[in-house]
A and B are shown apart, each in its own frame.
Chain A
């Protein structure tokens, strides 16, 4: 019965807000799969995008408990959303550059840097596709893969 949910939380930009949110999840045993935070331009608020999972009852509690925190301005439960996640990966120089490039293209990504011991690729796509990309990447023996967490916007 556990379902994956993407929740955006708009909070006041003040010290300690993030601890309040993560503390709430930790204390009540809720799950955080990914978490991204950034200030909202020209405002006194920041936006957190949290990917979590739980039964509908748990999700409902999470949302109510988030609302209850004093610096929380708004909690958005996404229904119709566009989600994107970014991933960076470092691939050894020896690998077939053309194949790597083709793979990145297939996922709307690109090679962003070529250094002396590797190339760095970047892809920003839906979380599911990012997962597929990371899987496909394994044939090139990546040295490092860094995923960024989800950001979402309502359609």
Chain B
């Protein structure tokens, strides 16, 4: 067995885990590890300019590739900067490993320079965390961290390593396999429950597929597409499941929830059976719980038992990995389910779709954000990865972009983190370099990690940031318009930097556009130049995201239009 320092073990473990890139930012407590990075060069290290961005980039990389994303940060402020990244990944079940330096063991608890109780802070926003107290534990913990991040319901894992532990010498016996007595996720669904669920589908008159992010994490989208296509049962997608079905799938009713389509929300409200595959019944989807799907029985398949029955009563709970469960379910359903049975139901929903399709009013005077998104879709559909920040532009992207596959749409759903989009897009670009990386952002959000322009330029990660610039914290402004009598408290962003100059000063390229022609030209040029870009698109200031279910309202009570 090889003897080595704890710091060396960290880089050796990355090699064993086939880590090709680490996003990070050094500092005192983690310098031993950085010294080993310098010596060995097993992986590329990308120096972001803020720890939050390092974690978001690792997260975006993980979302786009399905691999574990990795970030390194130092103790104290380095770690606290990383916390938003951990929380973002936690809420969306994204597999990442974040390694932080810590003050030496002998100084822990003394309020030493740059000491913070990192595992105390990360506990509620990670799947699991470790404080490594002895170099002897380190190989096992590193292996366990990767194993936990990607197995079961994935999630972020945080490993806090005191500086003296990275200096200690120990044996590097890296486990080949991981088996933990206290952690055994259930992958295979209960066959009896699966049979009952299939029978419920065969008996239902108004079933709906309620597709969630679990499908993306499990890699089960092809099975889902098959299931939908032979049963001809209509489907709705959550924000996290966009792209599971192709945008042009005739069974797809669109996104469900607060900004879901009329047909999707009505389908949930009138269904007699929900076939919930990997969603978590988030309040942004269900609206008022007592009114949610109140005529429906519910089948819920999820790998996390605590997700099932957390918010609504579930009639057919199935704990297991979606891929396994669907492999069992589909052949049974092929025997039992007659797609003709749901013809009436499909007709009803088709009428709903025709009654209130997703729409917006285009204008000859000012660019509409929805047009911009559709336009990008027309040009890049299927060949670009789309990330977003948080706000109106995020919802419009979810509504109007023609998604063709999962892992195409990279967005912070659960935490709703402004500042996520750009660094995540860098991670995406690093993970899938052959595809175009677009980040739809807002004039508020883009400034929350704007420093990453320099990272993207330095490491040649040509992300195209399309800023849908409404000179507002638009989503908050919309709520103020609807629910606060237009008292626009602190949402006016008229005071703006010159985004063109900002991009240029970092070595990127900037465009400011106000017409369709200008937009087309800017997008084309940014793509062909293949450099980091900001396209500052001046859009209608007062456009609203519709439909809208007011928070706490019932899904079937949607605001469909807003007239001043």
Decide: A73 and B306 in contact? CB cutoff 8 A. Answer: no
* Residue from B123, B124, B304 within 8 A of A68 (CB atoms): B304
Complex contacts, A57 vs chain B, CB 8 Å: 309
Closest beta carbon of chain A to B250's beta carbon, Å: 38
Chain A, residues 55-80, CB within 8 Å of chain B (1/0): the string is 00100110011011011110000000
Decide: B304 and A72 in contact? CB cutoff 8 A. Answer: no
Closest beta carbon of chain A to B154's beta carbon, Å: 13
- Assess A60 versus B309: contact at CB under 8 Å? Given A19-B120, A23-B124: yes
**B305 close to A (CB within 8 Å):** yes
Within A64-119, the residues touching B (CB, 8 Å) are: 64-65, 67-68, 70-73
- Interface bracket on B: 10 to 19
**B148 close to A (CB within 8 Å):** yes
Q: Which residue of B lies closest to A19 (CB)?
A: B123
A72 to B306, CA, bound (A): 14
* Residue from A11, A70, A73 within 8 A of B128 (CB atoms): A70
**B182 close to A (CB within 8 Å):** yes
Decide: B306 and A68 in contact? CB cutoff 8 A. Answer: yes
**B180 close to A (CB within 8 Å):** yes
Complex contacts, B148 vs chain A, CB 8 Å: 70
Chain B, residues 171-187, CB within 8 Å of chain A (1/0): the string is 00000000011110000
Q: Which residue of B lies closest to A11 (CB)?
A: B182
Complex contacts, B119 vs chain A, CB 8 Å: 16
**B133 close to A (CB within 8 Å):** yes
**B310 close to A (CB within 8 Å):** yes
Complex contacts, B182 vs chain A, CB 8 Å: 11-12, 70-73
- Assess A64 versus B124: contact at CB under 8 Å? Given A16-B119, A16-B131, A73-B182: no
Decide: A15 and B131 in contact? CB cutoff 8 A. Answer: yes
Chain B, residues 307-338, CB within 8 Å of chain A (1/0): the string is 00110000000000000000000000000000
Decide: A20 and B123 in contact? CB cutoff 8 A. Answer: yes
Closest beta carbon of chain B to A132's beta carbon, Å: 38
Q: Is the interface of A mostly helix, strand, loop or mixed?
A: helix
Within B110-160, the residues touching A (CB, 8 Å) are: 119-120, 123-124, 127-128, 131, 133, 148
Complex contacts, A65 vs chain B, CB 8 Å: 306
- Assess A64 versus B305: contact at CB under 8 Å? Given A71-B182, A72-B182, A73-B182: yes
- Assess A70 versus B123: contact at CB under 8 Å? Given A61-B306, A61-B310, A64-B305: no
- Assess A73 versus B181: contact at CB under 8 Å? Given A16-B119, A20-B123, A27-B124: yes
Closest beta carbon of chain B to A18's beta carbon, Å: 12
Closest beta carbon of chain B to A84's beta carbon, Å: 27
Q: Which residue of A lies closest to B305 (CB)?
A: A64
Complex contacts, B306 vs chain A, CB 8 Å: 61, 64-65, 67-68
- Residues of A at the B interface (CB closer than 8 Å) are 11-12, 15-16, 19-20, 23, 27, 57, 60-61, 64-65, 67-68, 70-73
